[in-house]
């Protein structure tokens, strides 16, 4: 460790393998070093050091007693030399002796930090990935027809062409029949309604089964294999809640809360009732059995080859459960990763991250202005939050169609996509609703989609010429080809003299890759302004012109000095993703 100012010390270590590492800090006195320093000063001042030599000999003899073999003999010889009267007047301490003394420190009175600290090393996907969420039952390609996992396979080339490397599926388990919701979340649906995938469990099975209309376990394993061929990893949704038809209800009624009439307590948020959902009682007397069963759900899907889990509403279940189950799964499957879908208070989101979640959803969807984005992403990337919390940025989800997307048209979708993909090394979209710019809400003031796929099958028009598929492909390619965009630590915001323009950069540690993003936040009007760049921090020579290569349009600009002009029309492309460099490379 290296001493800094004001009694602070700094040390570094490198960890090569994935897994959890623990460390702490220990400090001890090194009387030999103090003695050695004093001896040198006294000899330089010509003082008598007879007694000091004897003190040194004693120190060395104590250490010799802790050593053995050759080292012990060597130390004893050094001590004897210090004791001998006929020693010459040269400083008797050699580097060999100093190294030996350092090898056998006396830690009997060492002070040890009272905390054991943990570093978790995850695989690279934890830090960098582009997620795509799709409802497999909408993949049939014919209006009204229930899609299957096999149909989903057919969409892989399309998803891969857009550059996504994670395909996240809402729950694929049997859907309950009791109190099944109708279209647009109607309280009681028709008999032919497909229900919500998050209403898990029927006679056909629970969290380890596959909804029969989607296919078989074999189909699922084949989807994993095919996706892998396209460079895509499958992420499953883990939503620990049951319908009244879930096998757990019959087999383990003691895992649920009972009401005084013997019936099982459904979810409620008075006066709202969710009679199709029975929450599990994590504090049941049989909690150990319940927790083990839930752990076995993760184990089961890991055995099928899944390593990515998007966990539904983890903040409504106990912290100790997540701490335990994530640790247990990672012990067996160190490459397992967990994305927390917790839209709640910051402290709770950060707590989930600290106890084991690899990534988390964020408030990104509701941060729209330059001030909001700057403040939030400065907190996420420049404070201690960056040490434990990995943001995953979603401009939309099946639950979230923001006002900005509802009202801003196609430019709003482009703007939010570029922001998500460049502010966050991890980001995702819920498609095809996103690339097809679906923006009709169920009612004014609501963030719910009209005719939401949560409750019905949708048939999407992939031939829509307004689709953003190619634009998304360009954005994801710029992420893959530029290491600067593959982490969040280097994010810095820069001045622009226009409140509608936001400008930020990311760069690699060696500055060999510098990406500058400028986005027009106004989805209606052209905006222009002067950006102010810290060229020296980018490793650019402020006295030489440099190139700004726009990865979205392939345009090349020759810039000079820190202030440069930008102009963005939301109705063509509302953003620049520049690679900055001197021309000769």
Which of 67, 161, 264, 348 lies at the binding interface for a copy of itself (CB under 8 A)? 348
Near a copy of itself by CB under 8 A, which window of 156-164, 268-276, 366-374, 512-520? 268-276
Q: What are phi and psi of 113, to 5 degrees?
A: -55, 140
Find out whether 276 and 178 touch, Cβ atoms under 8 Å: yes
Q: What angle do CA 304, 310, 316 make, to 5 degrees?
A: 125
User: Distance between CA atoms of 60 and 66, rounded to whole angstroms?
Assistant: 10
User: For 174, which DSSP code?
Assistant: P
Give the nearer residue to a copy of itself in terms of CB position, either 74 or 348: 348
Contact positions with a copy of itself (CB under 8 A) in 103-122: 109
Report the nearest approach of a copy of itself to the CB of residue 511 (Å). Answer: 33
Binding segment toward a copy of itself, per CB under 8 A, in 227-235, 261-269, 411-419, 520-528: 261-269
- Least Å distance between CB 283 and a copy of itself? 8
Element (H, E) at 3: strand 2-3
Taking the C-alpha atoms of residue 111 and residue 114, their distance in angstroms, rounded to an integer, is 9
Contact 369, 500 (CB under 8 A): no
Residue 261 is a binding residue for a copy of itself (CB under 8 A): yes
Write out the binding residues for a copy of itself, residues 183-212 only, by CB under 8 A: none
Per-residue contact track with a copy of itself, 144 to 183, x per CB under 8 A? ----------------------------------------
Q: How far is the CB of 350 from a copy of itself (least distance, A)?
A: 10
Helix H segments across 467-563? Answer: 469-481
Site membership for a copy of itself, residue 25 (CB under 8 A) = no
Cα 551 off chain centre by: 25
| Cβ pair 413, 438 in contact under 8 A | no
Separation between Cα atoms, residue 298 and residue 356, nearest integer Å: 15
Q: Are 176 and 202 in contact (CB under 8 A)?
A: yes
Considering the rule CB under 8 A, would residue 268 count as an interface residue with a copy of itself? yes
Q: Does 347 bind a copy of itself (CB under 8 A)?
A: yes
Is 522 one of the catalytic residues? Answer: no
C-beta separation of 486 from 425 below 8 A = yes
Point out which span in 42-50, 84-92, 185-193, 534-542 binds a copy of itself (CB under 8 A).
42-50
Segment contacting a copy of itself by CB under 8 A, of 99-107, 237-245, 255-263, 359-367: 255-263
Q: Which is nearer to a copy of itself, 230 or 324 (CB)?
A: 324
| 270 near a copy of itself, judged by CB under 8 A | yes
Task: Return d(Cα 551, Cα 557) in angstroms, integer.
Answer: 11
Taking the C-alpha atoms of residue 424 and residue 394, their distance in angstroms, rounded to an integer, is 9
**Residue in 3, 4, 7, 89 binding a copy of itself, rule: CB under 8 A:** 7
Q: Residue from 3, 4, 6, 16 that binds a copy of itself (CB under 8 A)?
A: 6
Concerning whether 312 is annotated as a catalytic residue, the answer is: yes
The yes or no reply on residue 260 touching a copy of itself (CB under 8 A) is yes
**Distance (Å) of CA 348 to CA 27, 238, 342, 355, 394:** 34, 19, 8, 11, 19
Question: Is residue 38 a contact residue for a copy of itself (CB under 8 A)?
Answer: yes
Smallest CA-to-CA distance from 551 within 501, 481, 495, 502 is with: 481
Q: Which of 345, 489, 556, 560 binds a copy of itself (CB under 8 A)?
A: 345
Active-site residue (options: 122, 133, 219, 341): 341
Rounded Cα distance between 86 and 153, Å, is 88
Positions in the binding site for a copy of itself (CB under 8 A): 6-7, 37-39, 41-42, 44-45, 47, 51, 54-55, 57-58, 109, 259-261, 263, 268, 270-271, 283, 345-348
By annotation, the residues acting in catalysis are 312, 341
């Amino acid at each position: 460790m290296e001493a800094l100012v004001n009694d602070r010390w700094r040390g570094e270590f490198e960890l090569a393998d994935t897994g959890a590492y623990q460390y702490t800090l220990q400090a001890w006195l090194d009387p030999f070093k103090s003695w050695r320093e004093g001896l040198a000063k006294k000899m330089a001042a010509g003082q008598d050091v007879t007694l000091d030599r004897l003190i040194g000999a004693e120190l060395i003899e104590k250490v010799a007693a802790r050593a053995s073999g050759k080292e012990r003999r060597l130390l004893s010889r050094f001590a004897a030399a210090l004791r001998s009267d006929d020693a010459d007047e040269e400083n008797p301490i050699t580097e060999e002796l100093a190294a030996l003394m350092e090898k056998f420190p006396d830690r009997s009175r060492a002070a040890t930090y009272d905390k054991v600290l943990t570093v978790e090393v995850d695989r690279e996907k934890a830090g960098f990935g582009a997620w795509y969420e799709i409802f497999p039952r909408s993949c049939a390609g014919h209006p009204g027809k229930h899609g299957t996992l096999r149909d989903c396979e057919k969409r892989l080339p399309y998803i891969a062409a857009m550059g996504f490397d994670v395909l996240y599926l809402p729950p694929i388990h049997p859907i309950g029949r009791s109190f099944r919701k109708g279209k647009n979340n109607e309280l009681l649906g028709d008999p032919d309604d497909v229900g919500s995938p998050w209403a898990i469990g029927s006679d056909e099975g629970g969290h380890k089964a596959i909804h029969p209309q989607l296919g078989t376990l074999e189909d699922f394993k084949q989807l994993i294999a095919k996706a892998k061929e396209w460079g895509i990893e499958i992420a499953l949704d883990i939503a620990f809640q049951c319908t009244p038809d879930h096998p757990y209800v019959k087999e383990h009624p003691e895992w649920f809360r009972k009401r005084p009439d013997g019936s099982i307590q459904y979810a409620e948020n008075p006066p709202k009732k969710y009679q199709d959902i029975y929450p599990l009682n994590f504090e049941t007397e049989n909690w150990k059995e319940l927790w083990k069963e839930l752990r076995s759900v993760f184990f089961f899907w890991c055995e099928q080859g899944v390593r990515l889990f998007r966990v539904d509403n983890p903040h409504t279940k106990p912290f100790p459960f997540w701490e335990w189950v994530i640790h247990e799964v990672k012990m067996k499957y160190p490459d397992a990763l967990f994305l927390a879908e917790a839209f709640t208070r910051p402290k709770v989101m950060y707590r989930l991250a600290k106890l084991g979640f690899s990534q988390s959803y964020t408030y990104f969807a509701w941060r729209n202005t330059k001030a909001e984005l700057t403040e939030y992403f400065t907190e996420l990337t420049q404070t201690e939050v960056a040490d434990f919390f990995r943001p995953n940025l979603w401009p939309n989800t099946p639950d979230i169609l923001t006002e900005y997307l509802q009202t801003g048209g196609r430019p709003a979708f482009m703007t939010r996509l570029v922001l998500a993909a460049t502010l966050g090394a991890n980001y995702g979209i819920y498609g095809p609703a996103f690339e097809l710019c679906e923006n009709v809400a169920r009612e004014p003031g609501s963030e719910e989609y009209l005719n939401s796929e949560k409750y019905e099958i949708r048939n999407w028009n992939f031939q829509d010429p307004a689709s953003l598929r190619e634009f998304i492909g360009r954005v994801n390619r710029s992420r893959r080809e530029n290491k600067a965009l593959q982490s969040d630590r280097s994010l810095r915001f820069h001045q622009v003299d226009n409140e509608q323009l936001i400008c930020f950069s990311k760069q690699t540690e060696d500055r060999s890759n510098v990406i500058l993003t400028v986005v027009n936040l106004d989805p209606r009007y052209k905006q222009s302004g002067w950006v102010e760049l810290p060229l020296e921090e980018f490793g650019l020579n402020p006295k030489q012109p440099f190139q700004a290569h726009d990865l979205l349009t392939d345009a090349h600009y020759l810039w000079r000095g820190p202030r440069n002009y930008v102009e963005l029309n939301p109705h063509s492309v509302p953003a620049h993703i520049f690679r900055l460099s001197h021309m000769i490379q």
